[in-house]
């Protein structure tokens, strides 16, 4: 998406993230699974946002650092009570010093890196900061190979005074989806909330992991650790150093 940068998504959604996305996944199951994988070691979340996962994870007693490129997201996080160390920066060049026993990126956050080169570089940066036996965990959608190219428009939500439209364009040859959530309201007029992702299927992710010196240790359908099967729409992949 022209003009899109690392903090575009966070800056656009920080004011509504907790309202719109608090229930986007099973927080309790996610925290339980991640805490088990961390096994008492230091944890780093990539794309910490407003702390939806990092705060309850830190509440289990773990030492949690959260990285995000959006100052707006980190301002919302800072206003909350909880023991999360926040770092502003991107998921490639600004990772804090390790070692970490667990690094994770939840709910498609990894796809916010909008090129294969940046995604590969993230794997390398994470691998360099993992302790021996440490794990890199990604929660991602499985791309739909049947999705056609082109644009779609849908109504995300509608009330008496606010309408939110979802507009996106799929560019399959670039494995890219550019999107806008367009909020129309009597009080605020028009508000654009952009997002852009570069998706990758599990085999491509596995190849990136191998190139970075990591190996696939487990793949689940979700954080309840349900088995990953051929028609699973999402996956949680656990890569081991």
pLDDT in tens, 103-159: 999 999 999 999 999 999 999 999 999 999 999 999 999 999 999 999 999 999 999
Cis upstream peptide for 99 (omega within 30°): yes
Q: Tell whether 60 and 98 lie within a shared domain.
A: yes
Section 57-61 average pLDDT: 97
Residue 2 lies in a domain: no
Residue 3 lies in a domain: no
Is the per-residue pLDDT at 10 higher than 90? no
Q: Which domain covers residue 173, as residue numbers?
A: 150-196
Determine how β-strand 130-141 pairs with β-strand 100-105: parallel
CATH no. for residue 191? 2.20.25.570
User: At CB < 8 A and 24+ separation, what contacts does 181-184 make?
Assistant: 181/156
Q: Tell whether 78 and 168 lie within a shared domain.
A: no
Section 24-53 average pLDDT: 97
Section 221-225 average pLDDT: 98
Query: How much is the mean pLDDT over the chain?
Result: 95
Q: Tell whether 216 and 190 lie within a shared domain.
A: no
Tell me what pLDDT residue 8 has.
77
Q: Tell whether 12 and 65 lie within a shared domain.
A: yes
Q: Tell whether 52 and 128 lie within a shared domain.
A: yes
Residue 1 lies in a domain: no
CA distance 212 to 181: 35
Residue 41 lies in a domain: yes
* Phi, psi at 228, each rounded to 5°: -80, 125
pTM metric for this prediction: 0.95
Is the per-residue pLDDT at 4 higher than 80? no
Confidence of residue 1 (pLDDT cuts 50, 70, 90): low
Q: Tell whether 103 and 187 lie within a shared domain.
A: no
Q: Tell whether 208 and 184 lie within a shared domain.
A: no
CATH no. for residue 97? 3.40.50.150
Residue 52 lies in a domain: yes
Cβ-contact 217, 223 below 8 angstroms = no
> Left if phi > 0, otherwise alpha if psi is -120 to 50, otherwise beta: which for 109?
alpha
Q: Tell whether 132 and 25 lie within a shared domain.
A: yes
Confidence of residue 9 (pLDDT cuts 50, 70, 90): confident
Tell me what pLDDT residue 18 has.
92
Residues contacting 145, CB < 8 A, separation 6+: none
The C-alpha R_g of the chain, in whole angstroms, comes to 18
CA distance 94 to 96: 6
Residue 202 lies in a domain: yes
């Amino acid at each position: 998406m022209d003009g899109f940068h690392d903090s575009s998504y966070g800056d656009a959604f920080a004011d509504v993230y907790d309202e719109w996305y608090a229930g986007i996944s099973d927080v309790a199951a996610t925290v339980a699974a991640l805490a088990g994988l961390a096994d008492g070691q230091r944890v780093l979340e990539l794309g910490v946002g407003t702390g939806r996962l990092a705060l309850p994870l830190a509440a289990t007693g773990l030492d949690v650092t959260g990285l995000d490129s959006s100052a707006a997201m980190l301002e919302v996080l800072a206003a909350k009570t909880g023991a999360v160390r926040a770092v502003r920066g991107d998921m490639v060049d600004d990772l804090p010093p390790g070692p970490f026993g667990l690094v994770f990126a939840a709910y498609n956050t990894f796809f916010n890196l909008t090129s294969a080169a940046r995604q590969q570089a993230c794997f390398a940066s994470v691998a360099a900061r993992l302790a021996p036996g440490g794990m890199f965990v990604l929660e991602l959608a499985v791309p739909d190979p049947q999705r056609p190219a082109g644009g779609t428009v849908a109504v995300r939500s509608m009330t008496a005074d606010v309408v939110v439209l979802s507009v996106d364009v799929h560019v399959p040859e670039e494995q890219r989806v550019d999107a806008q959530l367009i909020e129309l309201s009597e009080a605020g007029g028009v508000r654009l909330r952009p997002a852009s992702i570069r998706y990758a299927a599990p085999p491509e992710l596995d190849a990136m992991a191998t190139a970075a010196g990591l190996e696939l240790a487990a793949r689940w359908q979700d954080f309840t650790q349900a088995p990953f099967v051929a028609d699973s729409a999402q996956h949680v992949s656990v890569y081991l150093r």
